[in-house]
């Protein structure tokens, strides 16, 4: 479980870095727009692959009942809210060194809680059973 958390944390950080780089790309010509679009699609594909990999690895740890599933989704939303709140909270510190240390600690804590919430959401998604259609199950469509 710790390895999965580390994979998700590093993967999300890389995708966020790509998206940050993507925001500064010029789009003055068709070629630049195409390159920008390809980078955006690659970032979204990376996020989809990261999600799929997390769901596949978490299938063996389903939540125990609907209450735990709802709690994990709530933890995901609370993690996002906490990360947003702690990033915008600015303590009154006098020196630049203390402000920098505070920023690093606050952003690190917010990122940790947000990724933990993300892994909890993936755990809920891993427990969902896909619906099979009658045609996929081999049953006749018309009776």
- This prediction's pTM: 0.76
* Axis-axis angle for helices 96-127, 30-58 (nearest 10): 60
- CA dist., res. 8 & res. 73, Å (int): 17
Per-residue pLDDT reduced to its tens digit, 68-85: 889 999 999 999 999 999
Residue that wins the pLDDT comparison between 45 and 131: 45
> What is the model's pLDDT at position 143?
53
Does the structure show a pLDDT above 90 at 49? yes
- CA dist., res. 53 & res. 114, Å (int): 18
> What is the model's pLDDT at position 86?
93
């Amino acid at each position: 479980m710790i390895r999965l958390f580390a994979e998700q944390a590093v993967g999300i950080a890389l995708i966020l870095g790509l998206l940050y780089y993507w925001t500064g790309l010029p789009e003055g010509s068709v070629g630049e727009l195409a390159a920008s679009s390809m980078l955006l699609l690659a970032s979204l594909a990376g996020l989809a692959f990261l999600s799929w990999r997390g769901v596949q690895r978490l299938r063996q740890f389903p939540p125990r009942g609907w209450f735990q599933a709802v709690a994990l989704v709530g933890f995901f939303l609370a993690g996002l809210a906490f990360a947003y709140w702690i990033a915008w909270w600015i303590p009154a510190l006098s020196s630049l060194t203390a402000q920098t240390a505070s920023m690093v600690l606050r952003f690190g804590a917010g990122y940790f809680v947000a990724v933990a919430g993300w892994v909890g959401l993936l755990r809920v998604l891993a427990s969902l059973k896909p619906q099979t259609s009658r045609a996929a199950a081999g049953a006749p469509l018309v009776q």
